[in-house]
Amino acid sequence: MAKKIGVLALQGAVTEHLQALNRLGVAAAAVKTPADLDGLDGLIIPGGESTAIGRLIREQGLEEPLRAFFASGKAVFGTCAGLILCSADRSHAPDELRLGFIDIEVERNGFGRQIDSFEALLPFGDLPEPVEAVFIRAPYIRTSGEGVRALASIDGKIVAAENDRVLVTAFHPELTDDLSVFSYFLKKIG
């Protein structure tokens, strides 16, 4: 059966992710309601504003369905704000959603205001070529727990990590023509 990947489509860089998946020949669907999760093999939580996306997840009744989706064994890829939402940060404000899909704690806007947006060619895990990475008010991973593998870092700050079913990047892979990080995520899906 062909894989089908959802892109959480509440706020942020949604279209670019759908287009990247289409370019890889993967069926992609926007996810706005719990029913949209049916039949998906994996989910991308895009960049945007983590506070806003978290609030909309709750307003749309998606928090428990997303937790159940993950608990059922599906794979999740969080980029930038999506990384923050997938984290298990214990120091955040209680009204801000953290799904705890990967045992990392994050520093939001971790590269500061001076350089709030930049691009880098980034060595990434075991990929043979560095990846094109666009950072926009990006977080970095401050601490990581058991089962988490760091995949990329800048100036000692971890900016990509994974566990068996979750990939997170602080950068936006959907904003370049380089699809290698998407292909890397697709390998997590059986």
| Binding residue count for ligand GLN, defined by CB under 6 A | 11
Q: Is 29 in the site for ligand GLN (CB under 6 A)?
A: no
**Cβ nearer to ligand GLN, comparing 52 with 121:** 52
Give me the half-sphere count of Cα atoms (radius 13 Å) on the Cβ side of residue 74: 21
Shortest separation between residue 88's beta carbon and ligand GLN, angstroms: 16
Report the distance separating Cα 12 and Cα 155, nearest Å: 27
Q: Is 81 in the site for ligand GLN (CB under 6 A)?
A: yes
The token pair at 148 is 């988490």
Which of 5, 36, 50, 158 is close enough to bind ligand GLN by CB under 6 A?
50
**Given the structure tokens 């070529």, which residue do they identify?**
129
Report the distance separating Cα 76 and Cα 67, nearest Å: 11
46-54, 59-67, 159-167, 182-190 -> range binding ligand GLN (CB under 6 A): 46-54
Q: Is 167 in the site for ligand GLN (CB under 6 A)?
A: no
Task: Say if residues 176 and 79 touch (Cβ distance below 8 Å).
Answer: no
**Cβ nearer to ligand GLN, comparing 96 with 103:** 96
